[in-house]
A = this chain, B = another copy of it.
Amino acid sequence: MTFDPAALRFGANGLLPAIAQDATTGEVLMLAWMNADAVARTLETGRVTYWSRSRQAFWVKGETSGNLQHLVEMRLDCDRDALLVLVRQDGPACHTGRRSCFYTAIRDAEEVEIMQPEA
């Protein structure tokens, strides 16, 4: 079946969540949002492109920082309302300089930082 970005199930805001996962290590790097055009641009360009909810604009990940996400494979889930994007990540994925945005764990009811910014 030919894939049509418009046939995904977007939320009321026209967006769905996209999980970026390191294609090699399996590490979950971040979660951001895509609309149908961002999905299409990601597939066309091979550069993972989100929709920035704060800026209300397309967001080519790493376009400013240089920390690009190169698309390896896009997958959709059974409900067609979430995406898993396997990537090759240049540099850190998180704007804090950490490899992943998920660097805070909850352990014994405390927030614990489990990852340092890369040098």
Contacts and interface: CB of A to CB of B under 8 A. Distances in A.
A78 B27 CA distance: 16
Interface string A1-40: 1110000000000000101010001111011000000000
Interface of A: 1-3, 17, 19, 21, 25-28, 30-31, 43, 73-79, 82, 84, 94-96, 98, 101-107, 109-111, 114
Contacts of A26: 25-27
Q: How many copies does the complex hold?
A: 2
A109 B77 contact: no
Contacts of A98: 78
The 3 closest A-B pairs by CB, nearest first: A26-B26, A77-B101, A31-B82
